Chain A
Amino acid sequence: MKPEILGAAKIAGALLGAGILAMGTALQPAFAQDTITYGVVSDQSGPGVPNQLPYLRGIQTQFNKVNDAGGINGRKIVLLAEDDKFQVPLGIAAYKKLASNDDVIGISGLTLSGTQVAALPLVAKDKIPVVGPDGTTDASLEPFQEYMFMLVPSYPVQAQVILGAMKDRVGKDKPKVADISVNVESGLGWQKLISETAEAAGTEYVGGVLMDATATSADAIVLKIQQMEPDFIAAHTTGGQANLILKSMEKFGLNIPVMATYASGTPSAYAGLSPEIGAQWQFVHGITPPSVPTDGGKQMLADAEKYGFGKDAASSDFVVGYVAGQLVVQALTDAGENPTRETYHQALVALKDVDTNGLSPSVSFGESRMGINLARPYGYDYATQAFTAVGEWDAYRQYVK
């Protein structure tokens, strides 16, 4: 036999063998009949980790808890967590794998706005309910998305609470509002939102400033705000940026109150400042941060410790995941013996006034698909090193239309 053909045949044979071997591993073990599989797509190793990892852990805690108690109608729930590394193509590929290959009954996560927007048509096609943390972009709210269930209050709701509450607090007839927003898509959206809804809320919009996420000083931003002379500031920044802004405000002796979205609701926003300066910054949220003592909070922290997620349970995002997990478990239980995507979906829509023991106002999805349509402000107490709620949930219902 000609040596060249022999040589090539050897290589071809090796290739074929490898191919068959690879194909062989394609047979994934199917999950046992008596389990329910649930998927989460989130960032586990990229820049989104500070917010998204605790969220995943919150859901995991809830699922571990229900499994230890015997499962949902006797069946264990298995969590399949996919890492999208904060990249849209990986997120979409992960979604497709979960929805088509792993045949999950529902999905959570999809927090990266690019991934969420790209996934919307797929979600509608697969008819798979998504109990995500939030609708991060306008596209998730309009047109109406049948299968997207939002948990945290949307930006419009937060804006309404902030503008309304601050207007009453400042006490003027038409107080001036300025905004500081982080320089990403959500910040640009926030700026647009405040500038457009200020009038309707009875305030006057005097301008806004964008802040780079990697800025090391907020001096320029604060100086610009100073020139606008607002009565209060509606902000959407990270905790680190909040810290910088407060430090700069202290430097220039500015005493303008700020109320911000939950993105800045971390203890690091208040670090290294005096209580007088820290009192200037409050943030709104639709859930209760872990450090505020509530019955539900105590239970949640105990559960987290039990499963080794104590470190993550300090974050508000953990609470969101924990509550999401509770809702998913409840809906799956309501869906009966053999839940399908359809029955699970109906059960989710039917959820009404679910009590989370103080972790949030009562949750109802219903037709609007907005689980928590309310927010209230929180401040930081330096003495106890914990967040404190400013008032009860019901006090702020008047601001939400």
Chain B
Amino acid sequence: MIFFLQLLVSGLAVGSVYGLVALGFVLIFKATDVFNFAQGDLLAVGAYLMFVALAVFNLPVALAIIATVVAAGILGAMLQRVVFKPLQGQPLLTVVMATIALSLIIQGALVIIFGSQDLSFPRTLPSSIVAIGALRLSMLDLIIMGCSVVCVSAFALFFRYTSLGLQMRATAEHPEAAALSGINSDRVFTVAFSIGTVTAALGGIFLGSLQVVSPTLSQIGLLAFPAVVVGGLTSIPGSVIGGLLIGVLQQLSAGYFDGAVASVVVYSGLLLVLLLRPQGLLGRPSVQRH
């Protein structure tokens, strides 16, 4: 029983990282209809930016996080302007391919700038061990979980109660009507990309603290996709829940079966969800109008 609970708790911690990445992904998708395959690479960029802030500029940890987040936001806005704005209105596959090309560029650029070796943060977030009964957690795990809760709540509030949030929801619902109502959809798209990149960067900061910073961080971002699908492509709380589920599934299958089987289980689960309930657990079924 303790074994199961411990795996559950570890899974929640890991799943929070997937959830953060998935959150940014859903945000971008909802607002701009762009299926961003490069989300995992943005995670890696976030980790490397944090490394630069810590190792090159020697900032204290808190300041480094803020600096990284700001830089990521600017990067997201730039990407939207340069790459995705010219592709507005193009079919799905074209946009997907553009994100894949972006992924290629980012991966190549990271190795050119930082080299191919593993790097590690010179100073990390607190990672002392916390014991809750018989369960053991790292302080870092708790911080990550707390952060995702804060992020989800913040975004829920943002979308519900702020003017910009309302504009984003309107644009996601019906771009033409929103434009007719006087909403600057361009600005909405830019903001959406910024926020999406910021959440990915946060995920990268956490992942870099959990392990090492290397070009393979991009591949971990790939697991955000099952999270997004399971939770629902159009649901923000769904994406985080999906992430948590995937994290837990991964840990449980690694614990009870084998590390190898873990990804099979995750993807079989993904397939099952797609076949039985394509809109995910919390998404709304999409109605096709011709």
Report which A residues bind B (CB closer than 8 A): 45, 47, 49-50, 53-54, 183, 209-217, 219-221, 223-224, 239-240, 243-244, 247, 250-253, 266-268, 271-272, 311-312, 314-315
Contact = CB atoms under 8 A, between A and B. Distances in A.
19 contacts: A45-B111, A49-B215, A50-B214, A209-B258, A212-B259, A213-B216, A214-B223, A217-B10, A219-B7, A219-B10, A220-B259, A223-B6, A240-B214, A247-B127, A251-B138, A266-B117, A268-B118, A268-B119, A268-B120
Q: Which of B127, B210, B254, B263 lies at the interface centre, i.e. has the most chain A CB atoms within 10 A of its CB?
A: B254
A240 B119 CA distance: 10
Contact of B124 (A183, A212, A214, A272): A272
A209 B261 CA distance: 12
A252 B259 contact: no
A264 to B, nearest CB: 11
Question: Nearest 7 CB-CB pairs, A to B?
Answer: A271-B120, A268-B118, A220-B255, A220-B254, A219-B10, A49-B116, A210-B259
B116 A223 contact: no
B212 interface: yes
A207 to B, nearest CB: 11
A272 B138 CA distance: 13
A210 B216 contact: no
Given A210-B259, A210-B260, A251-B136, A220 B127 contact: no
Contacts, number: 113
Given A215-B259, A240-B211, A50 B118 contact: yes
B11 to A, nearest CB: 8
A325 to B, nearest CB: 19
Nearest to A312: B115
Given A210-B259, A243-B211, A271-B212, A217 B120 contact: no
A51 to B, nearest CB: 8
B217 to A, nearest CB: 9
Contacts of B210: 216-217, 244, 247
B117 A217 contact: no
B259 to A, nearest CB: 4
Contacts of A253: 136
Given A212-B263, A213-B216, A251 B129 contact: yes
Contact of B115 (A216, A266, A267, A311): A311
Contacts of A213: 216
A268 B207 contact: no
Given A216-B207, A252-B136, A272-B124, A224 B212 contact: no
A244 B211 contact: yes
A244 B129 CA distance: 14
B259 A53 contact: no
A314 B212 CA distance: 17
A53 B116 CA distance: 8
Given A217-B251, A314-B117, 14 more contacts: A183-B259, A210-B259, A210-B260, A212-B254, A216-B17, A216-B211, A217-B13, A220-B254, A220-B255, A243-B212, A251-B138, A271-B212, A272-B209, A315-B117
Interface string B251-272: 1101100111011000000000
B35 interface: no
Nearest to A52: B116
B158 interface: no
Interface in B195-216: 207, 209-212, 214-216
B262 A212 contact: yes
Contact of B10 (A183, A220, A267): A220
Contacts of B115: 311-312
Given A45-B108, A251-B129, A239 B212 contact: yes
Nearest to B136: A251
A313 to B, nearest CB: 11
Nearest to A250: B129
Nearest to B207: A216
A223 B115 CA distance: 34
Interface string B134-171: 00111000000000000000000000000000000000
Nearest to B216: A47
Interface in B87-140: 108, 111, 115-121, 124, 127, 129, 136-138
A311 B117 contact: yes
Nearest to A209: B259
Contacts of A212: 254, 259-260, 262-263
B153 to A, nearest CB: 24
B80 to A, nearest CB: 27
B65 interface: no
Q: Which of A183, A213, A251 lies at the interface centre, i.e. has the most chain B CB atoms within 10 A of its CB?
A: A251
A210 B211 contact: no
A220 B251 contact: yes
A74 to B, nearest CB: 35
Given A217-B251, A220-B254, A268 B212 contact: yes
Contacts of B258: 209-210
Interface string B222-251: 110000000000000000000000000011
Q: Which of A45, A211, A215, A250 lies at the interface centre, i.e. has the most chain B CB atoms within 10 A of its CB?
A: A215
Contacts of A54: 116-117
A216 B111 contact: no
